[in-house]
Structure 1
Amino acid sequence: MRSIGEMARSSGLSVSALRFYDGAGVLVPARVDPVNGYRWYGPEQVDEARLLARLRRAGMPLADIRLVLAGWSSTDSELVRRLLQTHLRRLERGLSDARMEFSTVRALLDHRENPMAPPRTATIRFTVGAPELAAALDAVRFAASTDPELPMLGGVLLDVEGGSLHAVATDRYRMAVAHVGGSGDAAPRAQITVPSALADAMRALLRDGGSAQLSVAGNHVALETGARQAAGQCLDHDFPDYRRLVRLPAGTRALIDVPAFRAAVATGPVRTAETPEPGAAPSRLSVLKVAGDGTVAVCADGDDDPDSVAVNREFLLDALAAGARDQLILEFGAPTAPMAIRRTDTEDTFSLLMPVRLDT
């Protein structure tokens, strides 16, 4: 017999998903302890759970999955084949409808011309303290995308306007924003996306302190510190309007001691969830909630508080490290809203982590 935790590890389904499927009558444990309520599964149920996980990833409705599992256990292959074929036709119809809608959206996109960044024609120069720019790059670099299918996210956006520079990076599942003040030409706003490799080369120049000068001419960007320079081409893509993405309603804030909280996250319980990327290994999640005394707890298996928020544990540890402070503020909105990791000394440098649903 396997415990629910062992069943989760063997099947790829999360503990909360197994509880849900038990309650829905789809995958009922072989035995439930009458004293403590612990669920126990038979060895033959591992294959059923894996089959269930595959069917859910394929989007099959629970009512059909219940019949597939019943037919599977009774070797009723004809029923199973008919259900699979019916669902496949449903998916094909849905894909056809989605293609039609996407074609309409693409046509609308082709007819609108509203690039976020203004054309870069004049040379723009911006001077900033090297330590401050180094800190800004350190605060956001971890969130840059490595997905080759989304090249517009494969770097760090430098957004210069007046006496301010914002550095921004995102991979869709997390976003980091950092602000640093400086001085520059009285020019219109300039937004350039620096490839990750060039951003790393720029960061390497900023180790000796002093000041640094950022210059942009057309699609060429350079950073100079004294006699040294890192230069190259900007990414030839428009970065999404990050300002719209960071407009979040106010949430519950909790001040955390970063070293202690990092240790709690690194050693605390985790749950597994399927990643949205095909073929990727399941992600490991930390489930967080704000306790009554204002502290943030890492929830154990079995704690299904509806107000808890699940986030990718690796991403959370990266964001805590990038915060570079002994104290940070965690801000929680709804369980489906991004969780913010903010500094105590500024509102302009922060990270956002997208939550992960636990009930699928």
Structure 2
Amino acid sequence: MRSIGETARDSGLGVSALRFYDRAGVLVPAWVDPVSGYRWYEQEQLEEARLLARLRRAGMPLADIRLVLASWSGVDTGLVRELLASHLRRLEQGLSDARSEFSALRALLDHRENAMTSLRTATVRLSIAAPELAAALDAVRFAVSTDPELPMLGGVLFDVEGESLHVVATDRYRMAVARAGVAGYDGSRVQVIVGTALADAMRALLDSGGPARFSVEGDRVTLEAGDGQAAGQCLDHDFPDYRRLLPAGGRRTVVDVAAFLKALATGPVRSGEAGAHDLSVLGVEGGGAVTLRADGHDDPNRVAVNRAFLLDALDAGARDRLILEIGAPTAPIAIRRPDDEGTFSILMPVRLED
């Protein structure tokens, strides 16, 4: 007999996925301990688990997966071949439809490019307090993407509008926004993406204090502070409209950061699926207190998040007390500063399968 952990490790399915497929009647363990509820599998079931993992990665519907597994070891595998062929046809048709939609979207983007380019090529000259810009960059730097497939997210967005500068970073799974006041600019809204290396060089200039001077001329951005200067080309990409990604709001509670970090260090951690990060399952009690759950129960007041991302966001919050804004299990959570709600981060929830 093989334990559920061994079966998960050798099949490529997570423990939580095996539990889900047990409840769904797709891959039922050979024996379940009546006292502990622990699941055990026969050696022969490992092949089925590996097959299930392959079908799952291929996106086959659960009903068809159940039929494939039921027919896999039979003498007549005609049904299996038919199901595989049918699913492949669906995938090919879906890809064809997606290509048509993307062609239409590219045509729409072509019409929008001139307007979007104007946000990057205007001339900007403004001043900003160096400590304020340093704090803003520190608040968002952790969320910059390192995915080479998404170069438009591989930097920090500088969004200048009126007397405000917003700096923004996101890697799709988390987003951080910080706001700082500016002076000396009264033009239209301008957005530029400053690459990671240049953004870090700018941050290194700001420890001297005093005023900093930021300018944009065409595709070149420059920051001057003290006797130093950091300059370079902005990234020639469009950043997503971060304002549309902001959470709609949820239950808010103030947490003591030191106590919360201690709870995260000693409290329950839920293992993610194979290769995934560990998760923290947060719950909101009736009185508003945030607690850590041992598991993901069917509870509308809990949400699972990447534990490492949560720790990064708390550190970037740079306050003894922070506001956690938690909504539905499928909604992002926000981490805000009580004294500056214009600087915050959001974390995407992780779907729990049980």
- Output the TM-score relative to the length of structure 1: 0.89
Q: Which residue of 1 aligns with 2:330?
A: 336
In 1, the alpha carbon distance for the partners of 2:116 and 2:335 equals 26
Shift of 1:6: 5.2
Amino acid at match of 1:296: V
In 1, the alpha carbon distance for the partners of 2:118 and 2:227 equals 31
In 2, the alpha carbon distance for the partners of 1:95 and 1:190 equals 37
The answer to whether the 8 Å contact 1:124/1:184 transfers is no
Q: Which residue of 2 aligns with 1:287?
A: 281
In 1, the alpha carbon distance for the partners of 2:294 and 2:160 equals 44
The answer to whether the 8 Å contact 1:138/1:322 transfers is yes
Q: Aligned pair in 2 of structure 1 residues 114, 5: CA closer, same or farther (>3 Å)?
A: farther
The answer to whether the 8 Å contact 1:120/1:217 transfers is no
Q: Which residue of 2 aligns with 1:327?
A: 321
1:20 matched to 2:25? The reply is no
Q: Which residue of 2 aligns with 1:178?
A: 178
Q: Aligned pair in 2 of structure 1 residues 315, 191: CA closer, same or farther (>3 Å)?
A: same
In terms of mean alpha carbon deviation, does 264-273 or 18-27 score higher?
Answer: 264-273
- Output the TM-score relative to the length of structure 2: 0.90
Shift of 1:348: 0.4
Q: Aligned pair in 2 of structure 1 residues 338, 298: CA closer, same or farther (>3 Å)?
A: same
In 1, the alpha carbon distance for the partners of 2:76 and 2:136 equals 61
Q: Aligned pair in 2 of structure 1 residues 14, 287: CA closer, same or farther (>3 Å)?
A: farther
Give the 5 Å matches for 1:43-192. 43-74=43-74, 77-113=77-113, 115-116=115-116, 118-119=118-119, 123-192=123-192
* 1:309-349 superposed Cα distances (whole Å, 9 cap, x missing partner): 12222222211111112221111122211111111111101
SS across alignment from 2:248: coil
In 2, the alpha carbon distance for the partners of 1:256 and 1:12 equals 37
Shift of 1:263: 3.6
Give the 5 Å matches for 1:20-39. 20-39=20-39
* 1:278-335 superposed Cα distances (whole Å, 9 cap, x missing partner): xxx3333222221234222222236443442122222222111111122211111222
In 2, the alpha carbon distance for the partners of 1:128 and 1:108 equals 37
The answer to whether the 8 Å contact 2:16/2:273 transfers is no
The answer to whether the 8 Å contact 2:15/2:273 transfers is no
In 2, the alpha carbon distance for the partners of 1:8 and 1:207 equals 49
Amino acid at match of 1:349: T
1:230 matched to 2:230? The reply is yes
1:252 matched to 2:215? The reply is no
Amino acid at match of 2:290: V
Q: Which runs of 5+ in 1 are unaligned?
A: 275-280
The answer to whether the 8 Å contact 1:175/1:352 transfers is yes
In 2, the alpha carbon distance for the partners of 1:264 and 1:46 equals 37
In 2, the alpha carbon distance for the partners of 1:199 and 1:232 equals 10
Q: Which residue of 2 aligns with 1:312?
A: 306
Aligned residues: CA RMSD: 2.4
Amino acid at match of 2:264: V
Amino acid at match of 2:303: V
Shift of 1:3: 4.7
In 2, the alpha carbon distance for the partners of 1:265 and 1:4 equals 26
Shift of 1:78: 4.2
The answer to whether the 8 Å contact 1:117/1:190 transfers is no
Amino acid at match of 1:21: Y
User: Which 4+ residue blocks in structure 1 deviate beyond 6 angstroms?
Assistant: none
In terms of mean alpha carbon deviation, does 29-38 or 112-121 score higher?
Answer: 112-121
